Amino acid sequence: MRRLVWSEMSGDERHSLCSRGLSEIFDPELRASIGALIEDVRRRGDDAVCDALARFDGIELDPDDLRVGEEELAAAEVSVAVDDAIDDAIAHLRAFSEHQLVGLADWEFESEPGLQVGEKLTPIASVGLFVPSGKASYPSVAYQLGVPATMAGVPRIVLVVPPLPGGTGEVDPAVLVVCRKLGIADVFRVNGPAGIAALGFGTERIPSVRKVVGPGSPPVILAQVEMQRHGLTTMMLLGPTESLVIADASADPERLAADLLIEAEHGTDSSVVLVSTDEALAASVDRELTRQLRDLAGVRAEAARAALGQNGGCVLAVDLDEAIRIANEYGPEHLQVAVGEADQGRIVEGLVNAGEILVGQHTPFSAANFVIGCPASLPTSGFAHVSSGITAATFLKRTAIARADPEAMARMAPSVIALADHEGFPAHAAALRRRLDEFLS
């Protein structure tokens, strides 16, 4: 691991550690390329989507082949172990969503006599779910996005996924099994950025949606950002994965190394940081990482070395209070607290910028990624400072409702009239004056 000492780092060095991912996503050349691709899909629809699939994925398809048909969905199979694991994960996600939705119910109260105010919650009319492919197979992303969307009651859910690399258009059967279990029938095999554009504009065969979510490579994330100019809503940002672990001398270095490698193996653009108050622990973890890296295949080991090297590393903190400050400044996608039980509560209370917080060394990132049921599609690149993971709430919108009787209207009228007159809106004031005249007559 790269070794850093927070108290000795300059402001620029701290900023460099905490500003990961954004330069790659918003690279000017990439932005120009994605902009041209988006415009091509806007103009030529399915033909442009097929051309992008051939150009970037090496897969030749006709427009009629973009949709995954009913027979293909029905025929998709996985091993019994994977099928049972998918069921296990879906059950946990549904349980989490059910409890969340209880707290997201409609509400109303009387804010003053005769004035009722509140909110009603309704699902977004249509959403697009992007499930990545290429570096790995991600049925977990399909259910992490699909379960909350279905639990929220979204009427139209469209899922897009790139075909398996090196094939002739086949989609990972595990993703199709997830779709079948969740009742998602609109499934399309597309190149990532072109698929995002197609979801925003709508094409001859791919329906348009109002919101799109899903993690991906910098081109996929940039396509989501750019499509907001065309009215498509998205989440900011679900880019290259990252994790941070706060650990003290009580942590087990073998487990700690294993947990650091979980997110580190994703790709050379991943970032993994260990924040430790104990230099001896950091040295022990380094030795464990060297040993455990031998168990990873070449591409995974290369990714891990980048994630823990130039992209991340170990940051030594003077105490746990400084460790909390470092974690909050970093704002990680995934965060694990590997400290003594006596300190866990105050650390969790002090952490305010994280996509998820996993407490203790019996709660590894992989368990949360696959089965626990908490959101696992989480904000990256520091966006945990301002946004949250994808849950049922992501697919709901709030509408305020108010109802005033004549007495409540009369009581508010002088305030409304005074503010309308001050801001220069005579019709605003007149609407209240007329009602007030009627009420007093």
In the residue annotation, 362 being an active-site residue is answered as no
Catalytic residue among 226, 242, 263, 333: 333
Give SS3 for 432: helix
Q: Is the distance from CB of 243 to CB of 263 less than 8 angstroms?
A: yes
CA dihedral 211, 170, 205, 35 (to 10 degrees): 60
Residue 249 is encoded by which pair of tokens? 């001398």
CA distance 215 to 162: 13
Instruction: Scan for tokens 């952490």, then name that residue.
Output: 351
Cα–Cα distances in angstroms (integers) from residue 196 to residues 25, 87, 191, in the given order: 15, 28, 9
Q: What are the phi and psi torsion angles at 17 (to 5°)?
A: -65, -40
- Provide the H-helix boundaries in 232-278: 253-264
Residue 334 is among the residues annotated as catalytic for this protein: yes
Q: Do 421 and 428 touch, CB atoms closer than 8 A?
A: no
Comparing CA positions, the residue from 362, 351, 356, 337 lying closest to residue 274 is 337
Question: Which among 318, 258, 264, 286 is positioned nearest to 5, based on CA atoms?
Answer: 318
**Cα 340 to Cα 251: distance, rounded to the nearest angstrom:** 8
- What is the torsion angle, in degrees rounded to the nearest 10, for the CA atoms of residue 110, residue 112, residue 115 and residue 119? -40
Helix (H) or strand (E) holding 115: strand 115-123
- Give DSSP secondary structure letters for 300-316: HHHHHHHHHTTT-EEEE
List the catalytic residue out of 263, 265, 334, 356.
Answer: 334
Minimal CA–CA distance to 392: which of 149, 182, 123?
149
| Calpha distance 265→72 (Å, rounded) | 32
Q: List active site positions.
A: 333-334
